[in-house]
Structure 1
Amino acid sequence: MSSFVSQPAVQPSLSTRDLTIRFGGHVAVNAVTADFYPGTLTVIVGPNGAGKTTYFNLVSGQLPATSGKVFVKGLDVTRAGPARRTRMGIGRAFQLTNLFPNLTVIENVRLAVQSRAGMGLNFFSIWSSHKELIARAEHYLERVSLMGRRDMHVGGLSHGDQRKLEVAILLALEPEIMMFDEPTAGMSVDEVPVVLDLIQKVKIEANKTVLLVEHKMDVVRQLADRIVVLVNGTLVADGKPVEVMQSKIVQEAYLGTSEPQHA
């Protein structure tokens, strides 16, 4: 197994220890131990059914672990629900969009800004009394190139624009740990660069820890500082992209070939 070399002086922002979940007799995630550090973008790869999204669900609290532990900045959050983990700094963008379809684009982001400001999810707050929140929401819409759709209802957006909106909401929550589950899935070719550029910009913020599940190897090569490989729920490789992409176990398990791939 390839091993990721961390900086021992830096406390991991997120850790899992022997993290496991079973569904009946099926072990979907099998004793995964890993540390994730600020300033590092880790891409989690593996074949379909490898347990990537399930691992994300365990980390973010959508699923309870059968055994093992999850730590955020050294604190055990294994029994904490998604809301508490969000308050502790975990932000999650889902493989399937998780939006309010009957609200407008700006309203969706405004609610995230409002929540981050500690004002709660008040759908009926008077906008004119919160001009600073609106300005902040518009800032995030500009970052994902959605200001032109500011007042559209989310239900009328294309799938690609919904994914961009979800990224805007995640950015608005300002989490320390950002988790993206296939952020470019379903996007057209011309929409993908906008999201990748955003993730690149997040990546260079030294205080952010970024985890990304992705199938597209060109995206992996472009973004990854580190690659973690899951196969049948088990961590089989963990290291720098050039090392992991060249390993035999990754060639066979993920790429279906024993021929070397250039990272």
Structure 2
Amino acid sequence: MAAPALETRDLTVRFGGHVAVDGVSCAFEAGTLTAIVGPNGAGKTTWFNLISGQLPATSGRVLLGGRDISGLPASSRTRLGLGRAFQLTNLFPGLSVRENVRLAVQARAGAGADLLRRWTHRRDLIDEAEDILEQVRLSGRAGTLAAELPDGDQRKLEVALLIALRPRVFMFDEPTAGMSVDEVPTVLSLIQDLRRQGDRAILLVEHKMDVVRSLADRVVVLHNGALVADGPPAEVMESAVVREAYLGLEAALDE
């Protein structure tokens, strides 16, 4: 039987006497989209930081495709196939949209050295970057500086950079945060496209319950750093433990 695409085993982090993530064990399979929900301060982003290597764990393990990556830095986890998008976009603001994507394609292909000369001799990488821009609906803004993009297009560009890295696991931390109502559907459509490909695990931290209902195959609920519920969206959202733990959820469900 194949190993899960991603797994955490008893993953824990303490800050002094405070346990921010408390022995969380959870596995994620390729071809699924899991929403991670919970009240503010529940430990969702901290758990993401432990998985992606931005924060060292106090104890527990992280496995990627069955391989223990617990002791590896964030950069090594990225090279092995763990793709992470943040609440705030992580772009090269002084470079164009096209240059951002080309650099990500080059980095994955190991063609980062001798940037200008080698790039011009790799038509395959140029074509791949252009294909990704088309996939995320940014071909028309290819020459625009990343810093000049509206928030929605910056989110699309961040998705493009993740696609360029070809990760086994996509991790999105509140991808619609700070976006206008008009911009949200485009970014959600991109995530839905990734889900339909069926060969990657997708993890999504999200507060908007309508987004969770529309995208997720599964919902994981954290409260006070612990996993308190895990299952199909309708079942989990209706459970008493979730309604008690996740303040405001009942009102959101009744909208």
TM, length-normalised to structure 1: 0.91
Does the Cα contact within 8 Å between 2:52 and 2:74 map onto a contact in 1? Answer: yes
Q: Give aligned-pair identity as a percent.
A: 62
Question: Who is 2:179 aligned against?
Answer: 187
- Note if contact 1:248-1:258 (Cα within 8 Å) is conserved in structure 2: no
Equivalence for 1:72: 64
* Structure 1 residue 73 displacement after superposition: 1.4
Structure 2 match to 1:94: 86
**AA aligned opposite 1:112:** A
Tell me the distance in 1 between the aligned counterparts of 2:73 and 2:126. 29
Equivalent pairs, count: 255
Are the counterparts in 2 of residues 251 and 260 from structure 1 also a CA contact under 8 Å? Answer: no
More helix by share: 2
Cα 1:236–1:260 shift into 2, 3 Å: same
Aligned-partner residue type, residue 175 of structure 1: P
User: Which of residues 27, 42, 55 is equivalent to 2:47?
Assistant: 55
Q: Does residue 210 of structure 1 match 2:219? A: no
- Counterparts of residues 1-263 of structure 1 (less than 5 Å): 9-120=1-112, 123-125=115-117, 127-256=119-248, 261=253
Contact in 1 for aligned 2:90/2:158 (Cα 8 Å): yes
CA offset at residue 188 of structure 1?
Answer: 1.8
Residue-by-residue CA offset, 1:50-105 (whole Å, 9 max, x unaligned): 11111011001111001111111111111111121112211111111111111111
CA deviation profile, 1:3-52 (whole Å, cap 9, x unmatched) = xxxxxx44211111110111122111111010111111111001111111
Is the 1:111–1:121 contact (alpha carbons within 8 Å) kept by the matching residues of 2?
Answer: no
Hey, what's the Cα distance between the residues in 2 that align with 1:110 and 1:146? 13
Where 2:130 maps in the other structure, the secondary structure is helix
- Regions of 4+ moved over 2 Å: 120-132, 255-263
Give the residue type in structure 2 aligned to 1:159: D
SS at match of 2:134: helix
Q: Which residue of 2 aligns with 1:3?
A: none
RMSD between aligned alpha carbons? 1.9
Alignment partners' CA distance in 1, 2:212 and 2:250:
19
Amino acid at match of 1:26: H
Contact map agreement 1:13 1:73 (CA 8 A) in 2: yes
TM-score, normalised via structure 2 length: 0.94
